[in-house]
Structure 1
């Protein structure tokens, strides 16, 4: 089970690196566009492309935040609980997140499907076919749904085996020292 988690963390690390490269690429595109505007030239569309990249990065980046336990949780009650009730709250949290991500991913598909069916394009000078950014966006949500579902299953297995320390390491919150 640790191998599964380590593989998921490693894959999400590379996803985060690619997302970071995409953000840096957007920054460079915007900077070049700003400099060109000062010279009276503009290739335009930088804001549109950066919007698509941000949507993709947000959906893909959620998985990295999940495996690094970086999602925001209010844990003042959790920290005062004994290990078993604390692990049960962690299970509720990861099951809620997995369920939510599966629902969101399932609702992204009709959006992409309609864009493909109707040959939708952005109402802009670039006229980017919407299936391109929406495919990246949907893939990110599917990956997040997969990642959170794997963590939920691992949490259940650890709870059944009575390994509450692994539950805490897997889906608990980090202490100030760990952060």
Structure 2
């Protein structure tokens, strides 16, 4: 299980780099738009494209935050308990996150499937086929759901084995206990 979690972390490191490059490309596009406006020749569509990039980067980036244990969690009660209690709270938090991710990915597929069926396009000058940004967004949520399920399974297995410190290592918070 530890090997799978390390593998997941390495993949999410790569995902974070790609997301960073996507943001950087978006910044370059916006800067080009600003310069082009100065010369009276705006590029157009940068607001639409940057919105799509932000949605894609966010949906993919949450998986990196997950493996880095960077998601915000209110742990007022968690820190009051012993190792078994903290591990139980960590498993509950991960299972909840996996559930939300799975539900979002499931419903996201419904939206994407409908778009694919209708061939919907954005009501903008670019007339972007909406399946493109929706597919990127949905794939990010699906990857997040997969990552959350893998970490949840790992955490529950470790908890059942009584390895409470290991649970904290893979899904715990950074709070000093």
State TM-score, norm by structure 2.
0.98
Q: Distance in 2 between matches of 1:164 and 1:85?
A: 9
Is structure 2 residue 27 aligned with structure 1 residue 46?
no
Is structure 2 residue 110 aligned with structure 1 residue 106?
no
Q: Distance in 2 between matches of 1:77 and 1:135?
A: 39
The residue number in structure 1 matching 2:90 is 90
Deviation at 1:68, TM superposition (A): 0.1
Deviation at 1:161, TM superposition (A): 1.0
User: C-alpha deviations, 1:108-164, integer Å up to 9, x for none?
Assistant: 011111111111001011001000000000100000000000000001110111111
The residue number in structure 2 matching 1:77 is 77
The residue number in structure 1 matching 2:138 is 138
The residue number in structure 1 matching 2:5 is 5
In the alignment, structure 2 segments of 5+ residues that lack a partner are none
* Alignment RMSD (CA, Å): 1.1
In the alignment, structure 1 segments of 5+ residues that lack a partner are none
Deviation at 1:76, TM superposition (A): 2.2
Q: Secondary structure at the match of 1:75?
A: coil
Q: Distance in 1 between matches of 2:40 and 2:89?
A: 58
Q: Distance in 1 between matches of 2:165 and 2:171?
A: 10
Q: How does 1:15-26 map to 2 (within 5 A)?
A: 15-26=15-26
User: C-alpha deviations, 1:4-31, integer Å up to 9, x for none?
Assistant: 1110000000000000000000000000
Q: Distance in 2 between matches of 1:120 and 1:43?
A: 23
Deviation at 1:175, TM superposition (A): 3.2
Q: Distance in 1 between matches of 2:175 and 2:118?
A: 50
Runs of 4+ in 1 over 3 A off after TM superposition: none
State TM-score, norm by structure 1.
0.97
Q: Distance in 2 between matches of 1:90 and 1:110?
A: 31
